[in-house]
Structure 1
Amino acid sequence: MTGTEDLISALRERVAAAHERSTPLAIRGGGTKAFLGHPVDGAFLDVSALTGIVDYQPGELVVTARAGTRLAELETVLAEQGQMLSFEPPHFGADATLGGTIATGLSGPRRPWGGAARDLVLGTRVINGRGELLHFGGDVMKNVAGYDVSRLMAGAYGTLGVLVSISLKVLPRPAAEATLVQQLDATTAITRMNELAGKPWPLSGAYWETGELYLRLSGAERAVDAARDAIGGDVDDDPDRWTRIRELQTPLTAGAEPLWRLSVPPAAPLADLPGDQALDWGGAQRWLVSDADPATVRDTAEKAGGHATLFRGDHDARFHPLPDAMRKLHQRVKQSLDPAGILNPGRLYPWLDSAR
């Protein structure tokens, strides 16, 4: 066997042994997103050595890489071919891996226009909670219980399986980009972003913070120039603007204060909550820096037609509670893939690992 096959075999053996003993495992790659979700009390299962691009076909817009592959390395290879990960994933550190990116299901500012991380997953190789190596996606293996299991891995935080490799759809990099900035209050910015969403302009980012609305345009040079003239505003020449937005390193989002992520309809008014807010994804994603009571934050998000997640901070319930029907679906899938509940137990919801 090759070195990679030996490594996969060793991981399978560890998971299988843990399954037999009902021993919890804490899956870890680069560790840059370990602060997300709840801490896992289990033995570390290190997958950081599962590295390398397995297959890349620029003409087909498809890349397959192992879970431990550094995100920066993958993006560099794609850039050399004039391509990119269109969901613009945040890194949160130089050691960010592809597996951690997909496991947390995070997408950056380009998400409404380039698609979410989940949308771009074509297939996966996964070690389930029994230590079996499974292939999902395409014609390789029928999905469990009728679900698209590959895409279920995006945002599952490792609770459904140990990602071994991921196949993704990639897209061409835009020929031209420009960022405009307009001085607007939050209410006017929400209206403005929703108006622009209905126009045929090549938007790829819309972010508001502390009185400034940033609008990124991406596409053919002529289309970008036309949109810039039509939309108006000052040209923002900061080359790191969208990297800081992506990495939550803006004046509002950086720091150690509790940070809430609110997912609400784009036209929803600004939440009446204490603290400061930023608007991303054309207004559909709101960042709230606040010490407000979690129940109040979640109730406010629900009334607006959305939900709230404690992205950064300490609390017993970081993720928004699910309705009973959704809980049952989660438990059904979890039972199918990890019957002993050993993979990242407690990372999402305590009730998800009831088998333990």
Structure 2
Amino acid sequence: MDQALAQIVERVRAAAADHAPLRIRGGGTKDFHGRALNGDVLDTRSLSGIVSYEPSELVVTARAGTSLAELEAVLAEKGQCLPFEPPHFGPGATVGGMVAAGLSGPARASVGAVRDYVLGVSLVNGKAEWLTFGGQVMKNVAGYDVSRLMAGSWGTLGLLTEVSLKVLPVTAAEATLRFECNQADALRKLHTWGAQPLPLNASCWVQEAQAPVGTLYVRLRGAAAAVEAACKTMGGTRIDNALAAPDWTACRNQTLPWFAERAHQPGLALWRLSLPATAPVLTLPAATRVLVEWHGALRWVQAPADAADALQAAAQAVGGSATVFVAACAGPSGGSGQFLPQSSALAHIHARLKQAFDPAGIFNPGRLSAHW
């Protein structure tokens, strides 16, 4: 155990003994998300560096405080990538924060989520025990897969110190197609294409303020012959890759003009609706604004907090859910989001996990739940 890790373990041990809350933080690029940010900051960036990288095995292991940009640059040198396109939300994003947040970018519907690429993790639990789960191969799991449990836990179960990830080669060819259409037509196109052997990788339908009709963008990735054939079959207007790439990055990091509109309309929250991809256009409160990703499975909605019941009812009616992603009052130093209640069964499971990993309740208290 090196000095940086030993200091963190001692910090956790002291906090557990005193029942003193700790706020686990890497680059802080996702501080806008959650109910509250409580406790003394425990910075993970001292745990930095790529531990091992085997391009031929498609496996990389990095310490949790490693810059996400640094990791992606190292992979790019070998023609490889994190295919789930984790959002950065800022220049300080870290590998540990990527896994803890469990967020994926535009390609998620086609290639899978962060958790699908986590092979193993090392972490410090609330008892100041340094534990390792999983490994560096997909089959190195027996019993409960704790490594993947960490994806999306937002630091409430433990402090990640090291992560092993599966990576993939960059695809041979790529193309982006543009279609002018309304949301209903966009969903129909996506549902039709989804039933065909097409190299669909990502999609985004957006309607800018005051625009009479929306625009659907579809990204194709795969073998050159497959991409070229799909372009001829699907139609639309092909966009030069050099022009399309920055827009897909902006979609990934929520810096598109559509997301910026909230800054000029106080009181609007950014809602995240997770739905079956085949769900139709939802009946939503008047004046709400919608952006559609993941071939229809992810819909971002700008709406005030008092629209919670209507949004949740609309999502539940088609078998989905609605949660606040960025609260109306959120800022760089805090989220203040109010998440919708969980079912009693799910809340019970979460409480038992929290008790097992962090019995003193010191890690990120109040981030995801008012109770812990």
Look up the match of 1:226: 229
Look up the match of 2:19: 22
For residue 222 of structure 1, report the CA deviation from its aligned partner: 1.2
| 1:12 partnered with 2:9 | yes
Match of 2:343 among 323, 327, 351: 323
TM-score, normalised by the number of residues in structure 2:
0.90
Look up the match of 1:241: 247
Look up the match of 1:94: 91
Paired letter, 2:341: P
Match of 2:273 among 262, 265, 268: 262
Look up the match of 1:149: 146
Q: Map 1:175-186 to 2 at 5 A.
A: 175-186=172-183
> How far, CA to CA, are the matches of 1:263 and 1:232 in structure 2?
28
> How far, CA to CA, are the matches of 2:225 and 2:256 in structure 1?
30
Paired letter, 2:291: A
Between 29-38 and 319-328, the greater mean CA deviation after superposition:
319-328
Q: Secondary structure at the match of 1:39?
A: coil
| 1:216 partnered with 2:219 | yes
Q: Is the 1:27–1:344 contact (alpha carbons within 8 Å) kept by the matching residues of 2?
A: yes
Q: Is the 1:253–1:287 contact (alpha carbons within 8 Å) kept by the matching residues of 2?
A: no
For residue 325 of structure 1, report the CA deviation from its aligned partner: 1.2
For residue 214 of structure 1, report the CA deviation from its aligned partner: 0.5
Q: Map 1:1-356 to 2 at 5 A.
A: 5-138=2-135, 146-210=143-207, 211-237=214-240, 238=243, 239-254=245-260, 255-256=262-263, 257-273=268-284, 274=286, 275-291=288-304, 292-314=306-328, 318-351=338-371, 353=372
| 1:27-62 per-position Cα deviation (integer Å, ceiling 9, x unaligned) | 010010111112222011111121110011111111
Q: Secondary structure at the match of 2:300?
A: strand
TM-score, normalised by the number of residues in structure 1:
0.94
* Ranges in structure 2 where 5+ consecutive residues have no aligned partner: 208-213, 330-335
| 1:115-144 per-position Cα deviation (integer Å, ceiling 9, x unaligned) | 10011100000000111100011499x989
Q: Is the 2:134–2:147 contact (alpha carbons within 8 Å) kept by the matching residues of 1?
A: yes
Q: Secondary structure at the match of 2:258?
A: coil
| 1:166-194 per-position Cα deviation (integer Å, ceiling 9, x unaligned) | 10110110111110001111011111111
Q: Is the 1:308–1:319 contact (alpha carbons within 8 Å) kept by the matching residues of 2?
A: no
> How far, CA to CA, are the matches of 1:318 and 1:121 in structure 2?
29
Between 45-54 and 294-303, the greater mean CA deviation after superposition:
294-303
Paired letter, 1:168: L
> How far, CA to CA, are the matches of 1:190 and 1:72 in structure 2?
33
Q: Which has the higher contact order (CA 8 A, sep 6+)?
A: 2
Runs of 4+ with >4 A deviation? 314-317
Q: How many matched pairs?
A: 347
Q: Is the 2:29–2:92 contact (alpha carbons within 8 Å) kept by the matching residues of 1?
A: yes
Paired letter, 2:46: A
For residue 271 of structure 1, report the CA deviation from its aligned partner: 2.2
For residue 198 of structure 1, report the CA deviation from its aligned partner: 1.2
Paired letter, 1:348: L
Q: Is the 2:33–2:337 contact (alpha carbons within 8 Å) kept by the matching residues of 1?
A: no
Q: Secondary structure at the match of 1:293?
A: helix
Q: Is the 2:136–2:164 contact (alpha carbons within 8 Å) kept by the matching residues of 1?
A: no
Q: Is the 1:143–1:149 contact (alpha carbons within 8 Å) kept by the matching residues of 2?
A: no
> How far, CA to CA, are the matches of 1:223 and 1:79 in structure 2?
23
For residue 317 of structure 1, report the CA deviation from its aligned partner: 5.4
> How far, CA to CA, are the matches of 2:100 and 2:18 in structure 1?
25
> How far, CA to CA, are the matches of 1:20 and 1:38 in structure 2?
25
Paired letter, 1:330: H
Q: Is the 2:172–2:222 contact (alpha carbons within 8 Å) kept by the matching residues of 1?
A: yes
> How far, CA to CA, are the matches of 1:8 and 1:232 in structure 2?
54
> How far, CA to CA, are the matches of 2:228 and 2:337 in structure 1?
46
Paired letter, 2:270: L
Q: Is the 2:173–2:223 contact (alpha carbons within 8 Å) kept by the matching residues of 1?
A: yes
| 1:135-176 per-position Cα deviation (integer Å, ceiling 9, x unaligned) | 011499x989x5311111100000000010110110110111
The percent identity for this pair of structures is 49
Between 315-324 and 296-305, the greater mean CA deviation after superposition:
315-324
Q: Is the 2:119–2:136 contact (alpha carbons within 8 Å) kept by the matching residues of 1?
A: no
CA distance 1:317–1:33, shift in 2 (3 Å): closer
CA distance 1:314–1:253, shift in 2 (3 Å): closer
For residue 314 of structure 1, report the CA deviation from its aligned partner: 4.3
Paired letter, 2:316: E
